[in-house]
Structure 1
Amino acid sequence: MIWFQRIFLLLLVSWVASSDLLENPDFESPPKNSNASSGPFVLLDQNTTLPGWTLQGTVQYVTSLELPDNGHAIQLGEDGKINQTFIAKGGDVNYILTFALIRPGQNCSTSAGLSVSGPDSNAVFSYQQNYSKVSWQSYSHNLGSWGNDEPINLVLESQAIDSDSDTNSTCWPIIDTLLIKTVGVTLVQDSGNLLINGGFESGPGFLPNSTDGVLIDAVPSLIQSALRQWSVIGTVRYIDSKHFHVPEGKAAIEIMSHTAPSGIQTATKDTSEGSRYNLTFTLGDANDACIGHFVVGVQAGSAAQNFTLDSNGTGSGEKFGLVFEADKDAVQISFTSYSVTMTKEDVLCGPVIDEVIVHHLGGTASVKPTWLLLIIALLYVAVL
């Protein structure tokens, strides 16, 4: 029965995953009233129109063979801004944005940031660490949820990280290939698991030409996170089974640590105070040449334990477990990586977490007598 419900969950997630809702999301429709083919960087002025987008400030049209989608992108200068309004399709869904952020110039001491905003959300992204083998990285941001036919204004603008940010024009953010995925606000809970989205099947969409997964920066709120029902500490990477080793299903989480620990956190549903539960999960590597000694701290309520795995970077996986006692109805569950690991190409990597399951040690989370058990109990009383 559990396998049927898992398949149903996968079908539900794929059903609500929409095609892109934006016009000209990859900037392949060139700007009008501008000679877009005159060079790798073409400044767009107030007379220029970019199909689907409204322009403001310093905006340049970029042409390069190293870009992720057919070689065209947009650079937002010191005061650059683009925005587009799309219409919500269907109610009770979250709109999760994935986009490509291009590596800045080689002489940039500090990368300027990209501010991404929706009506109820805002986050700033920057290309400061190397998580990719190519010259660009995919990032994600949860724009929020709205009712059917509501207008949603997506705003992308440059933002200086600090007062000492490099003013070199090549250091301002370059963006390409935006994708919006819709995911149901209410997710189906897997039978026998007191966690929602314990297999990480509900998260941001993967860009068509991406082979490096999708980065999710720190998000303290479960509601605002692009990884549904999980908050994020530091930076993690959402990986797919097409390009990585994923222990179960179509997606998993790779925890990326750098100067500080990174990880994910959620909470159980319907636990009973004083009852004992078992937390199981798979710890492995993504088959991305990440070789090292992984140390992952796992906490469930007041119970905490470190788990280790020696990775050879070729797609290993091992199941672990932790028994804990619930001290309230909702117990915090967290996974934190303390390992700073890089590939030979100096690409940050780390341990993979998947198949996180919490169940009551007596069986299901709420043990209810079945008709068969009730009949047996009545017969036993009658015999006595």
Structure 2
Amino acid sequence: MARGLALPGVCLALLLLAPSHLASAAAVEDGLLSNGDFETAPAGGFVKYASVSEGASSIPGWTINGTVELVAAGQHQGGMILIVPQGDHAIRLGNDAGIGQVVQVEKGSEYAITFSAARTCAQLESLNVSVLGGASQTVDLQTLYNIEGWDAYALAFQATDEQANLQFRNPGMEDDPTCGPILDNVAIKKLFTPDKPKDNVVINGDFEEGPWMFPNTSFGVLLPTNLDEQTSALPGWMIESNRAVRYVDSDEYTVPQGKRAIELLSGKEGIISQMVETTPQKEYSLTFTLGSAGDSCQPPMAIMAFAGDQAQNFHYSPMGNATSQAANVTFTARAERTRVAFYSVYYNTRSDDHSSLCGPVIDDVRVWGLNGAAGLKASVGMLLGIVSIVALVLF
């Protein structure tokens, strides 16, 4: 989430929330915010299929601005059933309506907010996520990435104070006031930027550091466009294009190594990149692992890898029973910072669900110099990795 993107209209709406109406802040821990799943009953209890809340204490743990409806699983609206991402309840934001919570944070630290969202009856619904006095970003809900009708997203912000006033707002003004995005499962996680490993200038190349992921969720977490690598839900990385990439873990997906990886979606519309420190005129090797997420993604699968002025296409074609393969691009640095980037060559969907987007997985991204002893050591390590994969396949 880029800093300094708060829009005047957003600021005006947020200023309507007087400090006395803010929910009391509590020490924040990684995981759900206070009543982040909206399963805590209001003072009057849950009203089946018809709970419209207005006022500072209508939804425990949250303050609201405008018409915010507490919806239930199975609730009908017109000829459709409203989507509740998880559990029995969620909230729907009416025209220009918002919901917020104040959380205790560590000033100067970076945090990722994970939340689930779905649209109702409007095609162009979106959700603005902001921190009062800081970052603001609008997530487009028009594209659905799976057939369930909802997706989990993650955005990041840097705390400018010891309290963060987190706000979710529906910026739309539909003719039908019952249309509006649905919000559920709001969680937070403090982010840490990993140190650069020895003989590798890529930060977080194994993707192990990232946003909160809910257990037993088979759709991963979408990382929408983010052009500020300094404040990213995936530390060190930027999402450059207008579509998201998917952050996946080994509990629900096939991950080449470790716990986390990135699944590339939507062809050229889902680009992940990083600017790495290099020495001009020095030769480097970009290596990474290319794999399948094990989610029935239809072939062919391939990625385009960029390193400086070099670009190379890699098709996913593992040997035997292997689920991943090693790849390498050699390049000569032209500047003190070099861009490495990846995107999926194809627009893939699942064979068992043609409405769900999928794609190849990348993991273990490394960039090392090929000159001198460090380069030799790195090259030997790469060779040993390839030998290990071949041995695993043969034996």
Per the normalisation by structure 2, the TM-score is 0.78
Preserved contact between residue 131 and residue 348 of structure 1 (Cα < 8 Å): yes
Correspondence for 1:142 among 156, 160, 165: 156
Cα displacement (A) at 1:35: 5.1
2:272 paired with 1:264: yes
Which residue matches 1:117?
130
Which residue matches 1:61?
70
Correspondence for 2:171 among 111, 135, 159: 159
2:264 paired with 1:255: yes
Q: Deviations over 1:114-161 (max 9, x none)?
A: 1100132111123322322433210011022346xx11100111012x
Q: Deviations over 1:13-57 (max 9, x none)?
A: xxxx9423732111111222x4522x2241113375221111110
Preserved contact between residue 217 and residue 252 of structure 2 (Cα < 8 Å): no
- Letter of the structure 2 residue corresponding to residue 80 of structure 1: A
Q: How does 1:216-295 map to 2 (within 5 A)?
A: 216-232=223-239, 233=241, 234-257=243-266, 260-269=268-277, 271-295=278-302
- Letter of the structure 1 residue corresponding to residue 245 of structure 2: V
Tell me the distance in 1 between the aligned counterparts of 2:316 and 2:111: 36
2:213 paired with 1:206: yes
Q: Deviations over 1:329-348 (max 9, x none)?
A: 21111112231111131201
Preserved contact between residue 257 and residue 341 of structure 1 (Cα < 8 Å): yes
Which residue matches 2:23?
none
Give 1 or 2 for the bigger CA radius of gyration. Answer: 1
Cα displacement (A) at 1:267: 1.6
Mark the CA change 1:24 to 1:109 in structure 2 (over 3 Å): closer, same or farther.
Answer: closer
Mark the CA change 1:143 to 1:21 in structure 2 (over 3 Å): closer, same or farther.
Answer: farther
- Letter of the structure 2 residue corresponding to residue 360 of structure 1: G
Tell me the distance in 2 between the aligned counterparts of 1:29 and 1:287: 36
Q: What SS class does the counterpart of residue 130 from structure 1 fall into? A: coil
Q: What SS class does the counterpart of residue 98 from structure 1 fall into? A: strand
Correspondence for 1:28 among 39, 43, 65: 39
Q: What SS class does the counterpart of residue 306 from structure 2 fall into? A: strand
Q: What SS class does the counterpart of residue 51 from structure 1 fall into? A: coil
Which residue matches 1:75?
92
Q: What SS class does the counterpart of residue 159 from structure 1 fall into? A: coil
Preserved contact between residue 95 and residue 143 of structure 1 (Cα < 8 Å): yes
Q: What SS class does the counterpart of residue 300 from structure 2 fall into? A: strand
% identical equivalent positions: 32
Question: Structure 1: 5+ residue runs without aligned partners?
Answer: 1-16, 368-384
Tell me the distance in 1 between the aligned counterparts of 2:95 and 2:135: 22
Q: Deviations over 1:89-115 (max 9, x none)?
A: x4553110000112x34xx35141111
Tell me the distance in 2 between the aligned counterparts of 1:307 and 1:122: 36
Tell me the distance in 2 between the aligned counterparts of 1:73 and 1:248: 35
Tell me the distance in 1 between the aligned counterparts of 2:318 and 2:72: 40
Preserved contact between residue 200 and residue 227 of structure 1 (Cα < 8 Å): yes
Tell me the distance in 2 between the aligned counterparts of 1:338 and 1:171: 36
Question: Structure 2: 5+ residue runs without aligned partners?
Answer: 1-27, 75-82, 378-395
Mark the CA change 1:281 to 1:298 in structure 2 (over 3 Å): closer, same or farther.
Answer: same
2:362 paired with 1:348: no
Tell me the distance in 2 between the aligned counterparts of 1:82 and 1:54: 6
Preserved contact between residue 278 and residue 361 of structure 1 (Cα < 8 Å): yes
Mark the CA change 1:252 to 1:69 in structure 2 (over 3 Å): closer, same or farther.
Answer: same
Preserved contact between residue 111 and residue 189 of structure 2 (Cα < 8 Å): yes
Correspondence for 1:94 among 84, 103, 110: 110
Cα displacement (A) at 1:199: 0.7
Q: Deviations over 1:49-93 (max 9, x none)?
A: 2211111101100111663432111110012111111111x4553
Preserved contact between residue 69 and residue 209 of structure 1 (Cα < 8 Å): no
Cα displacement (A) at 1:324: 0.5
